[in-house]
């Protein structure tokens, strides 16, 4: 495929890079990368070894000593060049995202566009790393706070957004003066290699320090574990499951490091009697089946008032019947494959558990086979009528299963159902009733990090801080003031008087 050649993907690739050189380790074996689209082998990657990681961390520390002293607007200029280069590679990189991960081609291109957008955002942010001044209680003293670069940032990303989530972290961290070590998912390593190749010319043309943008591909049990345990890496940003996040938080916390955790979601849309169903239906469908249900912001529950329940259900069934499932590189298709057969097994197991707990499958649930579905990773998105408190509904199943839940009475009843799950990432309400909307957005409303009105749960603009509460981890990435998480805060007091007033008026005879 031409896009592989364009992006520098070979049949055999090495799994670590400091931006100017690639590691040569072969002793950890080769990682076979196959496409969920057609089951074909794309390439292999030699997994990195512990020596590679140690070398990268040392290089990153050396790079940080130089990069932190580069003026922030100059760092922003480098990020601007990255954004321009990504524009030139948007088509082939988007195709690789689609082919390696399985999301639709439109979503693949869209993910690269998110990388471009965050570059643009970060360029502006490079001139707005602001602090604050405060009035001192002491005469002729001045106080202010400021933010300094933090150091080496480890970024561990998941397969479902194989490049965008790295960019959310990397571009902001870079303008803050930090250096990066990226450990991508072993399910989608080729997109990471492609990005590293794209960065190479920019690094050389700007004479940037080796070790500024680093990549390491390897086993979670060794490379991942060593990365989160290393005291030379003060911040670890993890996108993944709640289980992985809890382990990371414990390990990094024990060494008093920092974490940014973006974990599971169990996102719901509340449909009130005052909802515009012409808006609510497509939002629910896209939120549930986009990326084949493999987004952290995927709509997993729809909580519908009994007055509009049957009408909404009919509309939902009609929309699902019109879904086109197939090769995601074909822009006519709506739904591509799950990432691998293990994900398919998780899908079918969840449906079995739902049946045992009393769920009523009203659409889909089949695993597709035959021509066009040879990879064994294609399923028909499912709709199941459930009760919110069931164990399986309380979990996040990373697959296209939409739970339909009925509620009675007022908006407070819907909010109680909505919040009664362990996760707290994204939420939405569809209503034209201002009191219902404001209740949903109030202190007594949605307990999620993202709460939307008359738009769905899926997707987020890069201008706002992205993240959630409870078992979603509490982390924030991307826009707003999320940049502060990549810096260390310092309060400064300057005495410009000839006197030295001491606390509590204490005096020494000196």
Nearest Cα to 89, choosing from 247, 231, 212, 199?
A: 199
What does the DSSP assignment read for 62-92? Answer: HHHHHHTTS-HHHHHHHHHHHHHHHHHTHHH
321 catalytic? Reply is no
The one catalytic residue in 25, 49, 119, 296 is 296
Which entry of 114, 262, 396, 471 is annotated as an active-site residue? 262
Which burial class, exposed, middle or buried, applies to 217 when counting CB atoms under 10 A from its CB (0-12, 13-18, 19+)? Answer: buried
**Does the annotation mark 296 as catalytic?**
yes
- DSSP state letters, 153-177: EEEE--SSSTTHHHHHHHHHHHHTT
Angle at 140 between CA 135 and CA 141, to 5 degrees: 50
- Pairing status of strand 360-363 against strand 382-385: antiparallel
Instruction: For residue 461, count CB atoms less than 10 angstroms from its CB and return exposed for 0-12, middle for 13-18, buried for 19 or more.
Output: exposed
Which residues, in sequence order, are bridge partners of residue 477?
466
Position of tokens 């049946």?
355
Structure tokens at 276: 């515009």
CA distance 241 to 157: 11
CA 41 – CA 100 distance, rounded (Å):
10
Q: How far apart are CA 490 and CA 502, in angstroms?
A: 21
Q: Which residues are catalytic?
A: 262, 296
């Amino acid at each position: 495929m031409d896009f592989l050649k364009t992006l520098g993907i070979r049949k055999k690739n090495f799994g670590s890079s400091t931006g100017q050189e690639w590691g040569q380790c072969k002793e950890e074996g080769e990682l076979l990368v196959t496409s969920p689209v057609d089951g074909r082998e794309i390439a292999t990657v030699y997994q990195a070894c512990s020596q590679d990681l140690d070398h990268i961390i040392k290089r990153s520390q050396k790079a940080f000593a130089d990069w932190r002293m580069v003026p922030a607007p100059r760092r922003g200029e480098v990020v601007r060049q990255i954004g321009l280069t990504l524009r030139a590679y948007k088509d082939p990189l988007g195709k690789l995202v689609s082919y390696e991960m399985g999301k639709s081609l439109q979503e693949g291109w869209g993910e690269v566009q998110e990388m471009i957008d965050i570059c643009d955002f970060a360029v502006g942010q490079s001139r707005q790393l602001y602090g604050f001044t405060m009035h001192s209680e002491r005469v002729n003293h001045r106080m202010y706070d400021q933010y300094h670069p933090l150091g080496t940032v480890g970024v561990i990303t998941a397969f479902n957004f194989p490049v965008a989530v790295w960019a959310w972290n990397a571009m902001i961290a870079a303008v803050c003066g930090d250096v990066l070590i990226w450990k991508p998912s072993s399910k989608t390593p080729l997109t990471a290699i492609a990005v590293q190749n794209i960065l190479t010319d920019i690094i050389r043309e700007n004479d940037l320090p080796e070790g500024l943008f680093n990549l390491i591909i390897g086993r979670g049990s060794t490379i991942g574990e060593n990365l989160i345990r290393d005291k030379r890496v003060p911040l670890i940003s993890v996108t993944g499951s709640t289980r992985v996040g809890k382990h990371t938080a414990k390990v990094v916390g024990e060494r008093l490091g920092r974490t940014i955790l973006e974990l599971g979601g169990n996102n719901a849309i509340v449909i009130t009697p005052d909802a515009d169903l012409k808006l609510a239906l497509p939002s629910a469908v896209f939120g549930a089946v986009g990326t084949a249900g493999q987004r952290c912001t995927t709509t997993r529950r729809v909580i519908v008032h009994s007055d509009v329940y049957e009408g909404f259900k009919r509309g939902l069934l009609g929309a699902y019947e019109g879904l086109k499932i197939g090769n995601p590189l074909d822009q006519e298709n709506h739904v591509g494959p799950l990432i691998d057969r293990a994900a398919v097994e998780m899908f079918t197991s969840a449906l079995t558990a739902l049946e045992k707990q009393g769920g009523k499958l009203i659409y889909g649930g089949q695993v597709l086979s035959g021509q066009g579905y040879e990879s064994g990773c294609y399923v028909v998105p499912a709709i199941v009528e459930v009760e919110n408190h069931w164990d399986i509904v309380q979990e996040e199943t990373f697959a296209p299963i939409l739970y339909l839940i009925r509620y009675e009475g007022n908006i407070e009843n819907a909010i109680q159902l909505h919040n009664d799950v362990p996760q707290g990432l994204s939420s939405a309400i569809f209503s034209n009733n201002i009191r219902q909307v404001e209740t949903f957005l109030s202190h007594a409303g949605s307990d999620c990090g993202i709460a939307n009105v008359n738009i769905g749960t899926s997707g987020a603009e890069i201008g706002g801080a992205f993240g959630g509460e409870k078992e979603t981890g509490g982390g924030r990435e991307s826009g707003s003031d999320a940049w502060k998480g990549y810096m260390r805060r310092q309060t400064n007091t300057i005495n410009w008087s000839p006197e030295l007033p001491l606390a509590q008026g204490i005096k020494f005879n000196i």
